[in-house]
Amino acid sequence: MQETINPNGGIAGRPSRRRGRALRFVLRALGVAGAFLLSVVILIYGATAIICKGPFPTARDLFVVSVEETSAVKFASRIHLDEEEVQAILSANTVIPISEVTDATQPFAQPSAADKPDEPIEIHDVSGDTFVGKMMIVKDPSRVRLACLGAFGPEARGKKIEEFAAENNAAAAINAGLFSDPGGIGKGGQPLGLLIRDGAIRNGGPGTVSTIVGFDGDDHLVVGKMSGRQALDMGIRDAVAVEPAIMPPLVVNGKPAEFTGNGSGLNPRTAIGQRADGAALLLVIDGRQPHSLGATLQDCLRLMVRFGAINASMQDGGSSSVMVYGGEIINVCSSLHGSRDQPSAWLVM
């Protein structure tokens, strides 16, 4: 092409060539990115096909129950399996519900001789074949209180666990109960089922029936299925609802839950419990990460029993699982965006 001088000086034709080179660079970059994403999709599709249709039913079942416990990727179990197959796997790998309710009339036992009296809060590292986590022991259960939003609703924005802790000048905090999270992208402002704070029903009503976990006026951890009216009659001061299928009671009146098959998948977990001497047990497990794939419900049960729980229940898990101590998150949250917005939190005051 013949170059000519433009009126402002310079050579005509060169800007268009530079634009052409830039366009080709962008198109090549997009092509490389597209090829990479296609390769990832093919890899995921092939890997899930091997898991779901391969010769290892235990791996298949573990994969299905793991993704079914999530909010955002339930579809993954249905890429290669139909709904009937998924439900059959879930039915064969589940927790058997505990029908009892905590007997809160029993007095607390003497403190454990293994406790360190000068440490009102102890934090222990815990681990298993597929997970690492933290167990916090709070010697005085009256310090464990529920914090929640002032108002709930589908459009209400929840708060991060560390925000609840900072606003209330709490020594520690973990995430609490069940809340609405459509597609894994909810705003975290609407709890599900009963929520009681300071002896008043804040979500649900007297006729709402939920499986709850919370503390009564005498600081006993109460776990069981009941109506809002029954909870108030029992003197419950703080409580949240849980979903028995995926965040069930683990121990009630010293009796551990039973499971069928794998029972559950590998995921981040949060649980709360209480020893016979009244000490509260707060457990958070990391998951969905290279250093910690996650724990099963049975793993959490074994940890609670090992630390002496006579009553215990799961709380919301997954990317909700967060433990705060001294103003900082001390576990590794599974969410790429960090701690998520939630409607409630258990605080240690």
**Largest Cα span, the chain:** 98
Nearest CA to 247 out of 228, 271, 223 is that of 271
pLDDT attached to residue 173: 98
pLDDT attached to residue 134: 98
Across the strands, what pairs with 95? 259
Please check the confidence at residue 326 and state whether its pLDDT lies above 70: yes
Please check the confidence at residue 191 and state whether its pLDDT lies above 80: yes
Predicted structure pTM score: 0.85
Residue 310: how many other CB atoms lie within 10 Å: 21
**Which of 30-44, 131-145, 325-339 shows the lowest per-residue confidence on average (mean pLDDT)?**
30-44
Average of pLDDT values for 24-34? 75
Whole-number percent of the chain with pLDDT over 90? 62
Average model confidence (pLDDT) across the chain: 89
Taking CA atoms, 225 is separated from 208, 230, 241, 347, in Å, by: 11, 10, 9, 23
pLDDT attached to residue 339: 87
What amino acid occupies position 240?
V
Average of pLDDT values for 69-93? 82
What amino acid occupies position 43?
L
Per-residue pLDDT tens digits for 146-162: 999 999 999 999 999 99
pLDDT attached to residue 1: 47
Per-residue pLDDT tens digits for 113-126: 666 677 899 999 99
- Chain-centroid distance of CA 264 in Å reads 14
More confident residue, 269 or 96: 269
Taking CA atoms, 11 is separated from 4, 19, 21, 23, 24, in Å, by: 6, 15, 17, 20, 22
Average of pLDDT values for 186-190? 92
Helices 83-92 & 57-68 angle (0-180, nearest 10): 100
DSSP state of 340: P
Spatial separation of the C-alpha atoms in residues 252 and 221, rounded to whole Å: 10
Please check the confidence at residue 87 and state whether its pLDDT lies above 90: no
Average of pLDDT values for 294-309? 96
- 320 pLDDT band, cuts 50/70/90, is very high
- Please check whether residue 219 is in contact with residue 142, taking contact to mean a CB–CB distance below 8 angstroms: yes
Please check the confidence at residue 7 and state whether its pLDDT lies above 60: no
